Chains A and B, each alone.
Chain A
Amino acid sequence: MNRADRAAVWFALPSLFLVALFSIYPICDSVRLSFYRMILMLPWLGEKFVGLENYADLVIDPVALVSLGVTLLFVGVSAALEVSIGAGMALLLNESFRGRGFVRAAVLVPWAIPTVVSSQMWRYIFNDRYGLFNFLLFGRDTSRYLAPLAEPWLARAAIIFADMWKTSSFAALIILAGLQTIPDELYEAAEVDGASAWQKLRRITLPLVKPALLLALLFRTIDAFKIFDLVFVMTQGGPADATNVLQFYGYKKVFAEGMIGYGSAISVGVFLISLALALLYIKLIGARVLEPGAAR
């Protein structure tokens, strides 16, 4: 077993090294900073160790609490919608039909567009006067046009939709690959046994695609916490903080306001919440995923 262990190390070493250098070390540094008070533009205040004070301030910060609520809303709704729609698209793309290749490429277009472009595109589409959104709903009757980015709940819906549009492709792709690994024979055998389409879905597809579904859900949830570009371009967190997600708030604290310690605490907060959710998923849906080793 020793030889195998050593081999394992060699295989994992390159990735371990890069991840340790570029992710683990910076993250540890960030966590360290969250225990300090450090304000870039007031260097005379120095870098003072304040223990958990940043966190204490964070849990009573009304803006952060509202942010948390907004973020959890986004994450919950986004992830659920994205994976559902992604699963639907994957099931469709799993069928053979003419032009399937093109539909697959079409499905990937939203994911392939850089967010710096798609966020401007959505800002253009959701504009209250010349946007496609109003045009589709009300045609040329401008008197009935809505202002999606100016009303709190519409703005939230707009951002969720824009995010969902882009990322359901990601989910679709992962779930599709999962569907593709299910051998045909299982379906053929089931048909011979007289199973209906619904039964095939429930008994064969769903259980075997669970790992892919979990993977999609996991990564979509994690990514949903990191929503940033869309908020930055479309609403800047407004109107009145209605779309001020934690990540955006943290960014403003670190970069714009130079409050490094507090901003780092927000990042750690985001991390802890994502972690909690991820662990919850894994426990509920599939502990298997974390287990190494095949030998089945």
Chain B
Amino acid sequence: MKKFLLPLAVAAVGVYSLLPFLWFVLASWKSPAQLTAIPPVVVPDFHWGFYRSAIVNYGLLGYIKNSAIVAAATTIVSIAIGALAAYALTRFHAAWLRWYLLVLLCVSMFPQIAVAGPVWRILDALGWLNRYPGIIVAYISFSLPLAIWILSTFFKELPYEIEEAALVDGCTRAQALRRIVLPLAAPGIFTAAILVFIYAWNEFFFALIILTSPPLQTLPVGIALFPGEYTIPWGELAAASTIATLPLIALTLLFQRRIVRGLSAGAAKG
């Protein structure tokens, strides 16, 4: 029974996740006449013009480069800072720590549009508008609540005995974090990293108002610039989304192996 259900479930999940996107990818190969054909056509003409146009006329690769830099920097720093905070939250007993998590949650609940003005002013005062550090620091701050919550949840589940033993043996807290907690919490860390990366990769609103100079604009802003006043270049949009999603798929394939199964089985028994 299971043998039959499993492939079916896999197929269902695959179709659900990929069909809309594949339809769009298909659109990227259609000729201009086919894009809005009524009724829709399934087999494209294998027209590569949209890819050429997206790269040459719309500067797609520049946007991808900027997004990659911003997202990578955001992820690394956010996870680092987040891990420190998560460690504090799960290994110490100070009363205020309890409130910190709640504050982080509350902060993430506030609609972003409301904080746009002050954030812009702060970055302007720092001279960081239209510069990488500006957007990166903003993204780090906004992704911290998510990162810290995920990391805390995972750090908390880890058995404490090994650390205790190490501390007794003279290890410092920082060393304990680095050598014991981080490796054991790898699934949580890579999960948090992927989600932060994708957040930074996809974020649009702040990128729009902070990065207005074309050489610095990230992918979501770049793509929002594709439509003309009354025209939507479906072909180029489809081509751009195909190109833009490939690095993320590659990254995911790479990282998903790190989410290792059967964690801490031996460690728990200690």
Contact = CB atoms under 8 A, between A and B. Distances in A.
Interface of A: 1, 4-5, 7-9, 11-12, 14-16, 18-19, 21-27, 29-30, 88-89, 92, 94-97, 99, 101-118, 120-122, 124-125, 127, 129-132, 134-135, 139-142, 145, 165, 169-170, 173-174, 176-178, 180-181, 183-185, 197, 211-212, 215, 218-219, 222, 225-226, 228-229, 247, 250-251, 254-255, 263-264, 267-268, 270-271, 274-275, 278, 289-296
A247 B113 contact: yes
A19 B107 contact: yes
A130 B88 contact: no
Given A30-B115, A107-B17, 20 more contacts: A4-B92, A4-B94, A7-B173, A8-B92, A11-B85, A14-B81, A14-B84, A19-B145, A22-B122, A22-B138, A27-B114, A101-B257, A121-B21, A178-B153, A251-B113, A271-B109, A271-B110, A292-B92, A293-B92, A296-B159
B125 to A, nearest CB: 11
Contact of A18 (B91, B137, B153): B137
Nearest to B139: A22
B13 A15 contact: no
B170 interface: no
B167 to A, nearest CB: 11
B144 A19 contact: yes
User: DSSP majority for the B interface?
Assistant: helix
B36 interface: yes
B105 interface: yes
A272 B238 CA distance: 39
A290 B249 contact: no
A101 B254 CA distance: 9
B34 to A, nearest CB: 9
6 contacts: A8-B92, A101-B256, A108-B194, A108-B198, A130-B35, A211-B157
B107 A130 contact: no
A110 B119 contact: no
Contact of A267 (B37, B98, B113, B155): B113
Given A177-B191, A183-B265, A254-B114, A109 B245 contact: yes
A1 B196 CA distance: 34
Nearest to B172: A7
Contacts of B138: 22
A177 B259 CA distance: 7
B114 A110 contact: no
A292 B40 contact: no
A125 B20 contact: yes
Interface string B181-206: 00000011011001100100110100
Contact of B141 (A18, A94, A264, A275): A18
B129 interface: no
A289 B198 contact: no
Contacts of B38: 129-130, 142
